[in-house]
Structure 1
Amino acid sequence: MRQLTSHVSEQDRLLIWIKLSLVPRLGIQSILKLLGKVSIDSLCDYSGKEWLTLGFSPEQVTYLSGPAKRMADDCLQWLERGEHRHILPHFSAEYPALLKEIPSPPPILFVQGDVPLLSAPQIAIVGSRYASVQGLQDAWHFANEFAQHQVAVTSGLALGIDGQAHQGVLDGGGRTIAVLGAGLERIYPARHRGLAERILEHKKGALVSEFCPSTPPKSMNFPRRNRIISGLSLGVLVIEAAEKSGSLITARYAAEQNRDVFVIPGSIHQVGYRGSNALIRDGACLVQNIDQILSEVGTLSAWVKHEEKIQQNELFPSLIDDEELPFAEVLANVGVKATPVDILATRTHIPVHEVMRQLLELELSGHVVAVAGGYIRKGRG
């Protein structure tokens, strides 16, 4: 039996995970299946022949020791070159639990900025790069209102609707996440570099990508990043989407991921709204103001309606037994040590998205606190 080495460091584990995530034709499910057979510590010292015994092709083994190793080394160098840079492998406690729930989550996330924001309740805003003046105004207005209600906004940093959504939430003092279709060192489009810097300067924003930091923008990567935009969010708001729009890809991902899809309608005579109107025809939720979105997404609605009550509870905490509390099963599994959302889902046999909704209710009512690595119990009861 192979002996485990005792010198394996966290950096070694991260390096091997990055390499695995880069191997062609090796998705997250295959990686997880592999790690069900052999530990990641063991893989750190595997030889080429041993990789072959695991079912890797000769081409994949060559890629592991060549291009994948060079790119992984570059990723670690990127991590060291600046502040507030993070690499989140799928097994990290900081990897957003809601994203982990989708059918094909990214094996790894590169993040610059506020990592806990990735796990905060958020709404995605997407739409046309060539939007009308009305569409741009709608994007800014809705994003700005979300900021007023302390709801984070996620988008793709693209021209048009995406850019206005980021601008609107920043102008409102809110929090925003930009998911890129290129590496974090290759901001695209170039004219939005200033916007990306503003998101980072905001200190409550984040840039996210599943691609290595030096990866240039490629057309094939932008549809892929859309599943992350919807996967991070509780719902997706589509503003001005044409018939063949990337926004429709995001909406389709959202539906597959069991997320709410909201659409602002447009005139039947405007080509730019044909995709939007088709989504409504197919069952998406027509919205005309932010209250309609907040009322549809139960968690966010509860957050807004009970904000004043929550502040009072912080000042005058009551002593209540767990049996009298809502979501007692989830609460009973939160202790003084940080517990990740996915662990709570496993223990309670409740879907991750429902656990997140319940945790937010418990947090807002003052019974748990979100910390790095998960949630802890507050000192009451």
Structure 2
Amino acid sequence: MSSDPRDWIAASLLPGIGAVGLKRLAAAGIPPSSLLQADPAALKLTGARVDTVRALEALAANRGERSDRLQRCLEWLDAHAASCLCLNAPDYPTLLREIPDPPPVLFVRGASDPLYLPQLALVGSRHASRAGAANAYAFARALSEAGLVITSGLALGIDGAAHQAAVDREAATVAVFATGLDQVYPRRHGALASAILDAGGAWVSECLPGSAPVASNFPRRNRIISGLSAGVLVVEAAPRSGSLITARLAMEQGREVFAIPGTIHNPSAHGCHRLIREGAVLVETVEHVIEQLGALLGSYLPVSEAVSPAAGLSAEEANLLEKMGYDVASIDQLVMLTGLAAPELMPLLVSLELKGVIEPVAGGYLRR
């Protein structure tokens, strides 16, 4: 069967067919070019409705317009050293191919190697709390060190913190776009997106170059995030967060779903609590994720070698860190919790801050 990107891109532009129909076509070994010729057997296999068939038969009138769009797409890919992975090609990501509605065409800019390594999706609120962003960064960094490629959607908040953690250690991370690869959304993540490519990561999208960030693209994007990944870790999410869509899709795709609990007083933690009630794995440490995905990780990292947040700390520093918990702690609270006087606490707090374990915030200190 043809793996010509031009045929697959052209077929993906046809109205009323969709990813599910094109997957049926690929499974049957029928080339996508048959759709372009309105072949009755191919149309029947895709499940196209009668009105869709009529629309396809009428496409001859604007075939030139489709050809122009296809040509512009191919020219952009060539000019930006981007590639196009077709659904039936051997280099199409295996896990993504398994989902019910894999994108017929996946556009890739940057290194494609990360797409074939074990991936974990980190997702969550665009309006992340300081603690949520800190958790996303810490978990993404440690999981990246454990051999997992961090995959997310380049959104503000949790997504950005997860990508940044990988970039800071010069590790590959995959950003899944809800636009064409010719535009970064949100724009304020332009520098981060460039850094992802510089660190050996990848941008991926099913949208043709020129596609704008319309609302309907984001849920479709989420199925790719979960589809590429062995599991999804929801770091922080309100009850109506879009990241819960990603988690639901992951469950439907047979992926592992993890969630980090938060305080009951934080509305942005309630979505995670709901996922845990519905069967998501409650995650408190990096080891919880690695243990669950151990069979996939293989030799990437033995669980005993997983990164501990207390690594490199003195006994006094580790004790103070444990007493702090994960909410903002004031000096007065730390005095009560540790039994140390304020002058004894300050050198320990300064040391922990210099080691990047805590940070000063309004009202006290917070674990990173």
So what's the TM-score if we normalise by structure 1? 0.72
Matched residue, 1:27: 18
CA distance in 1, matches of 2:189, 2:171: 19
**Counterpart pick for 1:68 among 66, 70, 78:** 66
Q: Contact between 1:151 and 1:174, CA under 8 Å: does it hold in 2?
A: no
Larger CA Rg, structure 1 vs 2: 2
CA distance in 1, matches of 2:7, 2:127: 41
Matched residue, 2:279: 283
Matched residue, 2:260: 264
Q: Contact between 1:51 and 1:61, CA under 8 Å: does it hold in 2?
A: no
Matched residue, 2:216: 220
Please give the per-residue CA displacement for 1:183-217, whole angstroms capped at 9, x wherever unaligned. 10121001111111111111x20000000011010
Matched residue, 2:288: 292
Letter of the structure 2 residue corresponding to residue 26 of structure 1:
I
Where does 1:28-67 land on structure 2 (aligned, <5 Å)? 28-34=19-25, 40=31, 43=34, 51=39, 55=43, 57-63=53-59, 65-67=63-65
When structure 1 is superposed on structure 2, of 260-269 and 28-37 the one drifting more is: 28-37
Question: Structure 2 vs 1, CA of residues 306 and 140 (structure 1 numbering), >3 Å: closer, same or farther?
Answer: closer
Please give the per-residue CA displacement for 1:258-314, whole angstroms capped at 9, x wherever unaligned. 111111101111111111111111111111111110001122265311999xxxxxx
Q: Contact between 2:137 and 2:164, CA under 8 Å: does it hold in 1?
A: yes
Deviation at 1:150, TM superposition (A): 2.2
Q: Contact between 1:150 and 1:174, CA under 8 Å: does it hold in 2?
A: no
Deviation at 1:115, TM superposition (A): 1.1
CA distance in 2, matches of 1:171, 1:29: 38
CA distance in 1, matches of 2:174, 2:247: 18
Count of aligned pairs between the two proteins? 294
Where does 1:132-281 land on structure 2 (aligned, <5 Å)? 132-202=129-199, 204-281=200-277
Q: RMSD across aligned C-alpha pairs, in angstroms?
A: 2.5
Letter of the structure 1 residue corresponding to residue 219 of structure 2:
P
CA distance in 1, matches of 2:150, 2:26: 34
SS at match of 2:301: helix
Deviation at 1:116, TM superposition (A): 2.2
SS at match of 2:251: helix
Question: Structure 2 vs 1, CA of residues 205 and 63 (structure 1 numbering), >3 Å: closer, same or farther?
Answer: farther
Please give the per-residue CA displacement for 1:74-112, whole angstroms capped at 9, x wherever unaligned. 2111111122x1011101111100100011111110000
CA distance in 1, matches of 2:304, 2:263: 37
Where does 1:57-96 land on structure 2 (aligned, <5 Å)? 57-63=53-59, 65-83=63-81, 85-96=82-93
User: Unaligned stretches of 5+ in structure 1?
Assistant: 1-7, 309-381
Deviation at 1:165, TM superposition (A): 0.3
SS at match of 2:226: helix
Question: Structure 2 vs 1, CA of residues 51 and 160 (structure 1 numbering), >3 Å: closer, same or farther?
Answer: same
Question: Structure 2 vs 1, CA of residues 301 and 277 (structure 1 numbering), >3 Å: closer, same or farther?
Answer: farther
CA distance in 2, matches of 1:135, 1:294: 20
Deviation at 1:40, TM superposition (A): 3.0
When structure 1 is superposed on structure 2, of 64-73 and 126-135 the one drifting more is: 64-73
How much identity, in percent, do the aligned residues show? 43
